Amino acid sequence: MKKYLESRGFDDTIQEEWKLEPKDKEILINYLDPEGKKLYTKINYPGGEPKYKNPSSKYLPNGHMDLYGYQMLKYINDSLLLIEGEYNCISSWIMGRPALGVSGQTGSFKEYHLKYIPQSVKKIIILYDNPKHAIERAKEILKFYDYDIDVRVAKYPDGKDANDYLKEGRTIDFQIITNMAEPFIESRIKSTDIKTYIPENDFVESYKRYTKKISDAPAKYQELIALSIVSTLLSRQVYMPWFNDSYLYPNLYIVLIGKSTVMRKSESISSAIKIIRNITPDRVFPSQFTQEALFGLLEDKPVGIIGWSEFGGFLAGATKSYMAGTKSFLTELYDCPDIIEKKLVGESYTIENPYINILSGTTINYFKEWITETDTFGGFYGRFLYMPCIPKDKNGYMVDPLEDQHTAEKNKLMLYLKEISKIKGKFTQSEESKYWLDKWLIDNNKELENFDDTDRRQSFYGRFDAYIRKLAMLYEISASGNLVISGDSAKRAIRMMNILKESLNQLIGENFAFTEEERNLQKVLKVIKEYGEPMSRKSLTLKTRIYAENLDKIVKTLIQSGEITAYSSGKGVKRATFYRIY
């Protein structure tokens, strides 16, 4: 057995230091306490079955297994590797990575495991054969530290373990594995595909499954629509404490963007409005109104949803004299103030406890025709969530009107919504949800602080702190009906906000242009993107029809912003410049 240990890279000095005792047919692996005194002994049978034997719980201090390597705690500073297996733990130390060994990857971390870890440790890396178990352990560590520690998950890339790297002399490769460990939170905080647990009876997912059987509209449309339905039925019954002794309510202003007819925007909105009307008819407002009629309507019933099949139509109508001030009024309504007082010629209106949802759709061309710079910076557009979709986002199901309309599923959804409509109270956050949301918001605010005064995203990003919490509230109601935001609901809100954020950046970058220079810049970027491969300077000039001097300035701006790259190819007279999306 002594030679076996030597074959694993453990010479006499290592064997003595780690108190490994080779016998005739077995190796005694001694677990030591922080003072170097023996706690208990685990037996390894190389080539045998089982390979390892743990002592009975009655021979274990306090009746449980400990981490391996406590005697090395005094050498651990700010970073610690938790690694599966005693031999891997020893190998890690030899290769320069302070570690504690874990006897089995499926065992949970308890307080008695983690309490010995030095307070100086700020980063814990977990390296298991199976990353799935490492992720579960990461959650337990975060909870133990009240989410105030950097936890990362490393992965073996080739099916080998730490001891294999030691035997093969691949110390640098092993160090690279631990250096590349992904932050458990940060690696997913910007993801549009965060994995999370969603219960079978979750309303949003149930609604998406139902609508997938009756429409080919994109699932991303249907998810926002489902949230809008829940929001409308809840109204001001649920809330979260907010700034300046106020409350945050989960109302949503939504614009679905896509091609006319084929994307099923109007059909999807109409279907949602019908569901709301069947449960609470008084919550559905007319889609067309004058400003005077809207004031009077809200004075009488201040809670409900406005459904516009064409948002651009509203924008066009808002330029009429009789609608003057409507956009600023809707901007004010978004914050759900306790009271709004309005006055028109000869008439005063007092609107108490308003709560308005807006669900609308439009085409990109109609939207571009009516957007203004004033409304962008003034905050009107910043109150909306935008979900652009293209035909490839559709679910691919061709609906046959003669097929079963899935009435039973619809009725089940209606019953669930009736229960949701009864929920009342103040929301709080779990520690896990607070950690996730705070991390995301800090990241978002850093981006916001780096915007210059001309960046149109300011108005939108500045309201994401409210929107992500609104979404978290709605996802929690959808999943459990509880008033405590869970970590899973926080992650679902983060996922949706990342999708919306990505869509917004594309929408602004490609469509918000108010000067000739901005329109030309967007034109050049669009042409290069649609070309699909490196585009020559000659082809770009022909496609855009922009004068060379102006094109040079635009290309330079796009390169400096990191949106495109340029390179030259060929020799002599055949040398040419090419552009491509970065």
Co-location of 460 and 569 in the same domain: no
The residue-averaged pLDDT of 255-261 equals 93
Residue 271 lies in a domain: yes
**pTM of the entire predicted model:** 0.71
Range of the domain at 239: 203-395+423-511
3-state secondary structure of 344: strand
3-state secondary structure of 348: strand
Residue 276, CB half-sphere, CA atoms under 13 Å: how many? 28
Co-location of 240 and 376 in the same domain: yes
The CATH number covering residue 541 comes to: 1.10.10.10
Residue 10 lies in a domain: no
3-state secondary structure of 524: helix
The residue-averaged pLDDT of 158-175 equals 94
Of 484, 511, 538, the domain-final residue: 511
The length of the chain is 582
What single DSSP character describes residue 40? E
Residue 85 lies in a domain: yes
Which one has a higher pLDDT value, 178 or 507? 178
Residue 139 lies in a domain: yes
Q: Give residue 173's pLDDT band: very low, low, confident or very high (50, 70, 90).
A: very high
pLDDT tens, 346-400?
Answer: 789 999 999 999 999 999 888 877 777 777 777 888 999 999 998 999 987 666 6
Residue 405 backbone dihedrals phi, psi, to 5 degrees: -90, 10
Q: Give residue 154's pLDDT band: very low, low, confident or very high (50, 70, 90).
A: very high
Co-location of 100 and 236 in the same domain: no
pLDDT tens, 80-107?
Answer: 999 999 999 999 999 999 999 998 888 8
Percent over 90 (pLDDT), the chain:
55
Co-location of 177 and 306 in the same domain: no
Of 493, 511, 529, the domain-final residue: 511
Co-location of 391 and 498 in the same domain: yes
Residue 305 backbone dihedrals phi, psi, to 5 degrees: -130, 140
- Strand 150-154, strand 52-53: pairing: unpaired
Residue 152 lies in a domain: yes
Co-location of 175 and 88 in the same domain: yes
**Res. 562: pLDDT tops 90:** no
The residue-averaged pLDDT of 292-317 equals 91
Q: pLDDT value at position 176?
A: 95
Co-location of 145 and 250 in the same domain: no
Lowest mean pLDDT among 121-125, 253-257, 287-291, 468-472: 287-291
**Res. 582: pLDDT tops 80:** no
Co-location of 151 and 263 in the same domain: no
Co-location of 87 and 159 in the same domain: yes
Q: pLDDT value at position 167?
A: 94
Residue 45 lies in a domain: no
The CATH number covering residue 159 comes to: 3.40.1360.10
Residue 190 lies in a domain: no
- Please name the residues in contact with 128: beta carbons below 8 A apart, sequence gap of 6 or more: 83, 84, 102, 105, 134, 137
What single DSSP character describes residue 47? T
Q: pLDDT value at position 274?
A: 95
Total of domains in the chain:
3
Q: pLDDT value at position 315?
A: 83
Co-location of 230 and 260 in the same domain: yes
The residue-averaged pLDDT of 423-433 equals 95
Using CA atoms, how far apart are residues 309 and 255, in angstroms rounded to an integer?
A: 10
H/E stretch holding 336 reads none
Of 151, 183, 215, the domain-final residue: 183
The residue-averaged pLDDT of 156-163 equals 92
Q: Give residue 187's pLDDT band: very low, low, confident or very high (50, 70, 90).
A: low
Identify how many contiguous H helices and E strands the chain contains and give both numbers.
23, 24
pLDDT tens, 513-550?
Answer: 656 777 788 888 888 888 888 899 889 999 998 988 88
pLDDT tens, 433-445?
Answer: 998 999 899 889 9
Co-location of 210 and 313 in the same domain: yes
Co-location of 340 and 434 in the same domain: yes
Residue 456 lies in a domain: yes
The residue-averaged pLDDT of 198-216 equals 94
Tracing tokens 């309303």 back to the chain, one arrives at: 203
pLDDT tens, 320-354?
Answer: 776 778 888 999 999 999 999 998 877 899 999 99
Q: pLDDT value at position 446?
A: 87
Q: pLDDT value at position 108?
A: 87
Which one has a higher pLDDT value, 582 or 130? 130
